Structure formats: structure tokens, C-alpha cells
Structure 1
Amino acid sequence: MARSALVVIDMLNPYEHQDAAQLARQVATIIEPLADLVARANERDDVELVYVNDNYGDFAADRRGIVAKALNGRRADLVEPILPPPGCAFLPKVRHSAFFGTSLEYLLAHQQVETVVLAGQVTEQCVLYSALDAYVRHYKLTVPPDCVATIHEDLGQAALRMMELNMSAHLIPSGVCFAS
């Protein structure tokens, strides 16, 4: 059973929304450490790797469709390095939190996960809301700041501070995650 889970949030993005250019600049800075973190998590038996991604209003969308839409979007270069590895869990979501309307809670309980590591986009929105939902479900929480991207830097920093102070999140560099 997994003791930890790496939950990768909304990284399969076609970058066709209002704040896409601003977000893409931030995402470009996290791709390398996030790809490394995903690879390390995927190699471990004690880490459950889970991708949770917005379905962009397409309720027939599945993993294949969401990946295809992102790869055919404006910034495939930001998608290709962090595609979900074969065999990892993939959960489409409809709104902000990775828990809302998904089977994430059941999956984590089934795998006996104690610590949730959150990575992805957007720090001040989906990552923050997912952190709160993990916290109220009594999960230990870790967020590597070098693996989350913001639209608004000031709000992203405030969100990280809220996660640390209000949700007891450990803010640690991705290189330290899963180190043993």
C-alpha cells in the first residue's frame, strides 16, 4: 500500500484561456522539477501517482481525450514532458478541487495514503482548494513550491503561506520529496 500520493493537478492544459500566456510563463519554470518528481514517484512502490485534470466542460472526456486536447493546444511543449505515465491513476475533474466530484478520496483511502503531495497548477486556485480538501480529510500535506505554478505571483505566495499556516502543509523543495 502507498504511504504517500503525488497528486498532479491540471497540468494537461491546452492554454487557450484568458490568463494562458501569464500562466504558461510560470509553468515553464516548474516543468523540469515536476517531471523529475513524477518520474521518482512513479518508480516507487510506496507512492501512489495520481493525475487529476480538469475536463474543460467535456463530460465525455477521458484520459485520452484530455491528453489529446492538451497536446493539440497552444503549448504542447509544456505538456509533453509531464504526460501521465502508463498505469498511473487518472481522474477527470469538473471544478477547482481535485477531490470535488472525483474518486480521489476513495482511491487514497483504498491505498492507505497518509501524506498527500500536491503539484501542478494553479497555486492560488486548484492547488489551494485541493490542499484544503486534503487537510479537512486529515491527510498530512506537502507542497513543493518549485512544482506549482501561479497566474498571480502575489496570490500564489499568499496561497502557499495559507497552506503552511492554516493547513500545516510542509513546503519543501521537490528534490527532498520521496527522499529515502
Structure 2
Amino acid sequence: MKKALLVIDYTYDFVASDGKLTCGEPGQVLDEKIASLIEQFIADQEFIVFANDLHEENDSFHPETKLFPPHNIRGTKGRHLYGRVGEMYNLYKDKVLWLDKTRYSAFAGTNLFILLKERGIEEIHLVGVCTDICVLHTAVDAYNLGIPTVIYAHGVASFDAAGHEWALRHFEHTLGAKIVQ
């Protein structure tokens, strides 16, 4: 079975202590787990996508403008991948895909579904942040597209602990996703 690893929003703004919309420590402790999964997927010659939030400075029309402080602005440090995950991206740039996204879901407004189909991907594996926002919306879209999904419980985090726990239950009990502990 061909698989794809989607590393969602593991950027400076979402993970670093001084990031603009950070998960902080819960996000930072994911670094080694996600890096290890990247190594595993590279060794198995599986598809890896780094799906990253992209916003334009002073975009008053984007719906998130009213919900969150400015984050992941084009051309800023906030869009850089965090920690060892960033190092892994730089090491394997020619074997992975960077995918800009402007909505919560990695599928919304992107060609991700087409890329997965072209490669014969039969299952996606999700890691990154935030569990109850971008990871959740990506998983919901995958469900609606009929793509079996695996979520790594120790590979996702949020700045909202209750939302994180709710999303893990929702993945399993409502979307039928497999949760790996």
C-alpha cells in the first residue's frame, strides 16, 4: 500500500516559544517524533508533503484575520520549518514536496488530492499542528474524499489541550481514522 506523510504547519510561528500563534512546548516535543517519521517514510520511498499555512501581510479579506493574530506571513521567519523537522526538509528537499495552503485543510484550494492520486497513494498519515484546527480539517476532507487516514497521537499538538483531546476522539470515532499511540 502506497502511503503519504503530511507534515502540517510545523512552522516557527506555530511551534517556537516566540511564534505568533504558538502551541509552545506541546508542539516542540513533537520534533523528534516527526523527524523520525520523515526518516522512515524517506527510507520506505513514500511520498512526503510539508503542507504549510501561507498568509499575506495586511490581508483584511482572509477569514482568519478576525480570529487570530497575523501568522505565517509570506517572507517571514514564521514560515520557516521548526527544529529538526526543518533540517530534515533541507536535507531531503529533492525528495519531498512543499505545499502552500491558505485555509485550514491541506486539501482546500490546493492540488493535494490530484498529487496523491497521481502517485497512487492509498493512505495518508498526519502529523503537525494544530490538532483541532488544520490537522482536523485536513482529516475531515480526507474522510470526505474517501482517503483512509492515520493520525499519530504523539505527532500532533495544539495550543488548546481540550480541543486536542476532543479532536483525537473525533478522528477515531467520527472519521474512522486509525490513531497510533
Could you say which TM-score interval applies, normalised by the shorter chain? 0.7 to 0.9
Q: Which runs of 5 or more residues in structure 1 are unaligned?
A: 60-64, 72-77, 174-180
Equivalent residue number for residue 62 of structure 1? none
2:159 to 148, 151, 154: 151
Q: Please state how far the C-alpha of 1:105 moved relative to its aligned partner.
A: 0.5
Contact residue 55 and residue 66 of structure 1 kept, 8 A: no
Structure 1 residues 70, 169: closer, same or farther in 2, change over 3 A? same
**Alignment partner of 1:92 is 2:95:** no
Identity %: 26
User: For residues 12 and 52 of structure 2, what CA distance do their matches in structure 1 show?
Assistant: 8
TM-score by length of 1: 0.80
User: For residues 79 and 175 of structure 2, what CA distance do their matches in structure 1 show?
Assistant: 31
Q: Which amino acid aligns with 2:82?
A: V
TM-score by length of 2: 0.80
Q: Please state how far the C-alpha of 1:29 moved relative to its aligned partner.
A: 1.6
**Alignment partner of 1:80 is 2:83:** yes
Q: Which runs of 5 or more residues in structure 2 are unaligned?
A: 60-73
Equivalent residue number for residue 47 of structure 2? 48
Equivalent residue pairs, number: 157
Q: Please state how far the C-alpha of 1:42 moved relative to its aligned partner.
A: 1.5
User: For residues 13 and 32 of structure 1, what CA distance do their matches in structure 2 show?
Assistant: 15
Cα deviation digits, residues 15-57 of structure 1 (max 9, x gap)? 532x42xx11111221111111111112212x21111001122
Q: Please state how far the C-alpha of 1:5 moved relative to its aligned partner.
A: 0.4
Q: Which runs of 4+ in 1 moved over 6 A?
A: none
Equivalent residue number for residue 66 of structure 2? none
Superposition RMSD on alpha carbons, in Å?
2.0
Q: Which amino acid aligns with 2:37?
A: L
1:134 to 127, 142, 159: 142
Structure 1 residues 67, 11: closer, same or farther in 2, change over 3 A? farther
Cα deviation digits, residues 74-98 of structure 1 (max 9, x gap)? xxxx813002231211110001001
